[in-house]
Amino acid sequence: MPDDFFGGLDFGTSGARISIINLKKELKYSNSVPYRYGFKNPTSWINSCENLLDSLPLYIKNNIVNLAISGTSGTLTACDLRGNPIGEAIPYDQACDENKILIESITVGEDHLQTPYSSLAKALKLIDKFGEDILLRHQSDLITGWFLKDWTYGEEGNNIKLGWDLIKESWPKSYLNTSWQKCLPQIIKSGKILGQIDNELAERFKLNKKILLVSGTTDSNAAFLAAGLGKEEGLTVLGTTIVVKKFNKTPIKEKGITTHRISEEWICGGASNAGCGILSQFFSDLEIKELSRQINTSKKTSLNLLPLNCRGERFPINNPFLEPILSPRPVSDSLFLHGLFEGLARIELKGWEKLYELTGSLPKRIVTTGGGSKNPQWRAIRERIINIPIISRKKTTSFGTALLAINAK
């Protein structure tokens, strides 16, 4: 139908965004809201979702037919058996090393799970804190459950870090002997129809009561979909953190590396704990724009900064104890920003070098999305350091999530 709309909701670190597209994949509406109570509070995710639904024009509310949700990969929360969040979520960039020996004993041969940043490490910490009569759900799956009022399901890509094997399509055999396996979701492939929106929720927000919820994906996978990459292109997402991804013929299992399946293609990549988050610790968006204009991108600074957002790194190296290097800070703010840009570009370069080491190829062109993609000076510095042509694309992560909704089966 010409009036059918397809929605994508994306939940990031600072807030949520919605994109509505039509059958021609044209963007018809977009909006974003910040989190009211902070990223770690799951009530913030639900509150921002409510605000976005309230703000939708009535003609869109009446004609949305499919809706998909994406969220940050590796942000895990505990819920009671009715889907109500318990306490704070553990974010993607928080290391949990309390159960290291147990994790190693149940993940033999699964190196990618033997990291304190895995969802498995977070899950065991939440079980220690709240017991086993809980549901363990990632950000995307929690919100999808809220729409359905059924928290049974988990999307495959969001649950890789929890132990789901995309090839075997199962949890590790070692999980079968655990008393906490019941806390895990029933896994569904990305882009599959899960069911119809809860009737009371549809009435409350004056939404089409026949909206179908579609199993979503991770935020970086949604960005990959939005970017519309060719086989010889790679993706860098410059959000709060830096994510790099590329196509590969086979899946890879290694610490700090994630392998996903999108439209039957294998995508591998990794996410650093460095990114735009560190810039916002020192400068406002307006200051970054003004100071960037003062940078001579053809010149190198003598600074050697390691601009992590916090202690610890996931990728291109996996070291939960790695400390940021943010000094000495020069008197000139533009020089300091220049040094931060260089430090971030070196991390991105090492990310691409790591993927080259594992896959044997580099992209011939890097497509960049996210807030940092809008900065021409940063792009010029990245091209000088990485030595691969770079272009920017404006389509948002929630647009990629809406593409999942339109192609649902």
- For residues 99 and 81, give the distance between their C-alpha atoms in angstroms, rounded to a whole number: 24
Question: What pLDDT sits at residue 2?
Answer: 56
Asked whether this chain's domains 5-219+399-406 and 230-392 adopt the same fold, the reply is yes
Query: Would you give the distance in Å from CA 162 to the centre of its chain?
Result: 15
Pairing of strands 5-11, 64-71: parallel
Residue-range domain boundaries for the chain: 5-219+399-406, 230-392
Give the CATH superfamily of 230-392: ATPase, nucleotide binding domain (3.30.420.40)
* CB distance 344 to 295 below 8 Å: no
Between helix 333-359 and helix 285-292 the angle, nearest 10°, is 90
- For residues 275 and 370, give the distance between their C-alpha atoms in angstroms, rounded to a whole number: 10
* SS3 per-residue string spanning 232-301: CEEEEEECCCEEEEEEECCCCCCCCCEEEEECCEEEEEEECCECHHHHHHHCCHHHHHHHHCCCCCCCCC
Question: What pLDDT sits at residue 87?
Answer: 94
Question: What pLDDT sits at residue 74?
Answer: 92
Neighbour tally for 250: CB within 10 Å: 9
In the beta sheet, which residues pair with residue 77?
Answer: 137
Tens of pLDDT along the chain (409 residues)?
558 999 999 999 889 999 999 999 999 999 999 999 999 999 999 999 999 999 999 999 999 999 999 999 899 999 999 999 999 999 998 999 999 999 999 988 888 888 899 999 999 999 999 999 999 999 999 999 999 999 999 999 999 999 999 989 999 999 988 999 999 999 999 999 999 999 999 999 999 999 999 999 999 899 999 998 988 999 999 988 999 999 998 888 887 888 888 877 899 999 999 999 999 999 999 999 999 999 999 999 999 999 999 899 999 998 989 999 999 999 999 999 999 999 999 999 999 999 999 999 999 999 999 889 999 999 999 999 999 999 998 889 999 999 999 988 8
Report CA Rg, the chain: 21
What CATH class is the domain 5-219+399-406?
A: alpha beta
**pLDDT tens digits for range 207-219:** 999 999 999 999 9
Question: What pLDDT sits at residue 256?
Answer: 80
Place of tokens 């062109």: 365
The candidate with the shortest Cα–Cα distance to 341, out of 311, 309, 314, 379, is 379
